[in-house]
Amino acid sequence: MQCARAWRPLSPLLSTRIYQTAWNRSQSSPAAGRLNLSGIYPPIATPFTTKEDVDYQKLKENLQKYARIPFKGLVVQGSNGEYPYLTEEERVEVVRMVRQSLPGEKLLMAGSGCESTRATVELTGRMAAAGADAVLVVTPCFYRGKMDSRALIHHFTKVADSSPVPVVLYSVPANTGLELPLDTVLELSHHPNILGLKDSGGDITRIGLIVHKTKTQDFQVLAGSAGFLMAAYCLGAVGGVCALANVLGQELCELERLCLSGSWEEARLLQQRLIEPNAAVTRKLGVPALKQAMEWFGFHGGACRSPLQRLTEAETQQLKQDFTTNGWL
């Protein structure tokens, strides 16, 4: 009964207040010289040939289709780009190629995280030279038992000190086994070259607390998944980097519009239809599922680079069901 009452229409006053919170956080002018990250970003996939080489032609064709969707920009060499399986040269070349194809007004956020601070600093510089407007730096995690706040603050501070472009922190515990600690985020939010955080953990109370605790820092929080995008907007996030945007990009941009315009009932209905497809291409079935779904929706997905394997027939049917039952196929 409590859940049923929670979904009753909002009063006009409360709806207006929530709308103003979401709008003000995502539309306010950043401090001088700071990028405004507000908007939706697909963390783009990397197409491969049958020999597992990067297929730059198919990537370019995907970019041409994404150009027709009102994204704020693209995230390149994030988790869905299979960056751990690419060489450093491939990672940089993909960013360079995307920058050449991307309209100038679109932001390019490039993943530059490595396990060592030194390697991250070097790759960050190369990503900036290749055309990145900002870099997304994932937590180092191989020695996760020693990655306490002291180590992580040292790491990200060194990277931000040397980076020629703004740094966005990246917490993705499902992949790293390590969540960027709250005290670490709050300390790093004071750094003038650390712009914000992509939080993929899914703890909406944590996201709300980070927004609240950094509200005087011009620190921008991005939801790391479409499954909690509306909730994140309600609590002051400025946008989302969402795997599902590779497939349902127009729909996620529409969800953003509904949240920012205060159309919460319509936003709720759309958000509910996105939860199962999003879970399918992320925590349930991962990048192989995302690439399969891309094929259904007219994009080049294809196979992953080994050791990732294509979906089994049973997994493919489950994926199709998650999209079909929500009206997307």
Which residues have a Cβ under 8 Å from the Cβ of 221 and sit 6 or more positions away?
196, 197, 199, 207, 210, 211, 214, 232, 236, 237, 238
CB 26 within 8 A of CB 229: no
Give the annotated binding-site residues for pyruvate: 241
**C-alpha–C-alpha distance, residues 74 and 111, integer Å:** 11
Give the annotated binding-site residues: 241
Whether the ω angle into residue 307 lies within 30 degrees of 0, i.e. cis, is yes
Can you point out the beta strands (E) in the chain?
39-41, 73-76, 107-111, 134-138, 167-171, 194-199, 220-223, 239-241
Residue 81 is encoded by which pair of tokens? 């780009």
Burial 212-230 (b: 16+ CB within 10 A, else e): eebeebbbbbbbbbbbbbb
**Per this entry, what is the length of the chain?**
329
170 catalytic, yes or no?
yes
Residue 48 is encoded by which pair of tokens? 């491969």
Catalytic residue selected from 41, 83, 170, 233 = 170
Residue ranges of the alpha helices (H) in 172-226? 173-176, 182-188, 204-213
Nearest to 133 by CA among 158, 155, 112, 156: 112
Beta bridge partners, 111, equal 136
198 catalytic, yes or no?
yes
Catalytic residue selected from 58, 72, 106, 198 = 198
Residues with catalytic function = 170, 198
